[in-house]
């Protein structure tokens, strides 16, 4: 069963809402891929409307994600039933499109993950996936397609970073994804910090084989739209993307050339909660419970104390819950009520309140 705060988000499709910041950034990226900067021989097809309910096969198996990989766990992924999940990434559509013979495409969609609670994490966010698998004949006379495709990947994505962020310094960091090898993360130096922009790599040979392209070489990348939009527009809290407050949305009415001007920040209210945990306790279950109880009134949940009782060996966790609305001032009464609801709900967890 999916939690109600998650069900509410399905079908909102912020990336399809005209003039929403996620829509602006999606268009910017699509424009880049359309502009012929990438390759005029290989026109990209844009897919924006795939439903987020996907099979376990598409989300994990066909992407060669091992059976014991953490991302499959019920504490990280929202399961609908034994065969179906809410996609955890837009890579879930790679295989189906390759199988249909598509070679150059971008897929944009909402993705769902159980996660921590703070200004940059939200259980629903939006990703964009890009795939490029040239016909060997289009690569021309090059003798080493691996090398050629890698060069194209790096040039294309550095070009994208510069298209979005200006003339930034880029660096490639080796990393691991089960469905690409080799794999990299692209980082850019922006406002004094190295910022991770996307993950990418050469598509695993096995995936291309499974989809009828045994002789081809191609690349794939995936990026998070909120992450980029937060940097580009200086949006300080990821919850704002879900706000229907005109003070937020109106700032994006005219163009994508916007620096967000925060409207007055409302005061926060802080409450702590302490409990003894047992061995099958998972933090993400507690975070999800809070999300469900308090939705967007939660700014952050921090583990502030973690100690083991010297005699009983029991472990105690103390969390600080920071309540703050993006739109209004909260009353003490409503926070006390919420805190009580959360305390009540923790009875569903393998913990003992103190």
Please check whether residue 111 is in contact with residue 52, taking contact to mean a CB–CB distance below 8 angstroms: yes
Asked if 89 interacts with ligand PHE (CB under 6 A), we say yes
Q: How far is the CB of 18 from ligand PHE (least distance, A)?
A: 26
Instruction: Give the integer Cα–Cα distance in Å for 17 and 23.
Output: 6
Q: How far is the CB of 223 from ligand PHE (least distance, A)?
A: 8
Report the residue number, 170 or 298, with the smaller CB distance to ligand PHE.
Answer: 170
Q: Which two tokens stand for residue 342?
A: 């959360």
Give the CB-nearest residue to ligand PHE. Answer: 222
In this structure, what DSSP letter does residue 14 have?
G
Instruction: Choose the stretch contacting ligand PHE; rule: CB under 6 A; options: 1-9, 137-145, 215-223, 237-245.
Output: 215-223
Q: How far is the CB of 110 from ligand PHE (least distance, A)?
A: 13
Question: 332-345 and 283-294 helices cross at what angle (nearest 10)?
Answer: 140
Instruction: Number of residues interacting with ligand PHE: please give it, by CB under 6 A.
Output: 11
Please check whether residue 89 is in contact with residue 50, taking contact to mean a CB–CB distance below 8 angstroms: no
Report the residue number, 177 or 248, with the smaller CB distance to ligand PHE.
Answer: 177
Instruction: Give the integer Cα–Cα distance in Å for 257 and 224.
Output: 19
Please check whether residue 321 is in contact with residue 273, taking contact to mean a CB–CB distance below 8 angstroms: yes
Q: How far is the CB of 321 from ligand PHE (least distance, A)?
A: 28
Tokens 């065969």 sit at which residue? 83
Binding ligand PHE (rule: CB under 6 A), the pick from 60, 221, 241, 287 is 221
Q: How far is the CB of 71 from ligand PHE (least distance, A)?
A: 9
Asked if 180 interacts with ligand PHE (CB under 6 A), we say yes
Q: Which of 197, 223, 229 is nearest to 20 (CA)?
A: 229
Binding ligand PHE (rule: CB under 6 A), the pick from 62, 91, 325, 339 is 91
Report the residue number, 126 or 317, with the smaller CB distance to ligand PHE.
Answer: 126
Q: Which of 245, 35, 42 is nearest to 138 (CA)?
A: 42
Asked if 220 interacts with ligand PHE (CB under 6 A), we say yes
Please check whether residue 212 is in contact with residue 100, taking contact to mean a CB–CB distance below 8 angstroms: no
Please check whether residue 199 is in contact with residue 184, taking contact to mean a CB–CB distance below 8 angstroms: yes
Residues 138-177 that bind ligand PHE (CB under 6 A): 177
Asked if 122 interacts with ligand PHE (CB under 6 A), we say no
Asked if 317 interacts with ligand PHE (CB under 6 A), we say no
Helix (H, G, I), strand (E, B) or coil at 245: coil
Report the residue number, 9 or 93, with the smaller CB distance to ligand PHE.
Answer: 93
Tokens 């897929």 sit at which residue? 107
Asked if 123 interacts with ligand PHE (CB under 6 A), we say no
Q: Which of 269, 228, 235, 271 is nearest to 252 (CA)?
A: 235
Asked if 335 interacts with ligand PHE (CB under 6 A), we say no
Asked if 222 interacts with ligand PHE (CB under 6 A), we say yes
Q: Residues 184-203 vs ligand PHE: string with x where CB under 6 A?
A: ---------------xxx--
Q: In angstroms, what CA-CA distances link 286 with 155, 164, 293?
A: 43, 37, 11
Instruction: Give the integer Cα–Cα distance in Å for 302 and 353.
Output: 17
Binding stretches for ligand PHE (CB under 6 A): 89, 91, 129, 177, 180, 199-201, 220-222
């Amino acid at each position: 069963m999916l939690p109600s705060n998650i069900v509410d988000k399905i079908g909102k499709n912020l990336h399809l809402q005209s003039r929403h910041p996620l829509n602006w950034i999606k268009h910017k990226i699509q424009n880049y891929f359309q502009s012929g900067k990438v390759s005029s021989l290989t026109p990209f097809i844009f897919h924006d409307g795939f439903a987020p309910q996907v099979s376990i096969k598409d989300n994990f198996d066909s992407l060669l994600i091992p059976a014991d990989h953490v991302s499959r766990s019920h504490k990280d992924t929202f399961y609908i039933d034994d065969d179906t999940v809410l996609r955890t990434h837009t890579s879930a559509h790679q295989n189906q499109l390759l199988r249909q013979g598509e070679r150059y495409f971008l897929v944009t969609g909402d993705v769902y993950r159980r996660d921590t609670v703070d200004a940059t994490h939200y259980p629903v966010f939006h990703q964009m996936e890009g795939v490029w698998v040239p016909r060997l004949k289009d690569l021309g006379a090059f003798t080493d397609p691996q090398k050629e495709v890698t060069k194209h990947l790096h040039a294309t994505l550095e070009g994208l970073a510069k298209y979005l962020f200006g003339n930034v310094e880029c660096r490639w960091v080796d990393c691991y994804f089960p469905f690409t090898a080799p794999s990299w993360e692209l980082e850019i130096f922006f406002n004094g910090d190295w910022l991770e922009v996307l993950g990418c790599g050469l598509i695993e040979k096995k995936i291309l084989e499974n989809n009828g392209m045994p002789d081809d070489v191609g690349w794939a990348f995936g990026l998070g739209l909120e992450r980029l939009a937060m940097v580009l527009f200086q949006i300080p809290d990821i919850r704002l993307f879900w706000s229907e407050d005109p003070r937020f949305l109106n700032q994006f009415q005219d163009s994508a050339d916007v620096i967000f001007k925060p409207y007055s920040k409302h005061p926060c209210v802080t409450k702590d909660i302490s409990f003894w945990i047992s061995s099958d306790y998972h933090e993400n279950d507690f975070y999800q419970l809070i999300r469900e109880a308090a939705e967007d009134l939660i700014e952050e949940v921090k583990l502030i104390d973690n100690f083991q009782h010297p005699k009983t060996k029991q472990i105690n966790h103390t969390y600080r819950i920071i309540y703050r609305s993006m739109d209004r001032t909260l009353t003490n009464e409503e926070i006390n009520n919420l805190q009580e609801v959360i305390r009540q709900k923790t009875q569903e967890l393998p913990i003992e309140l103190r």
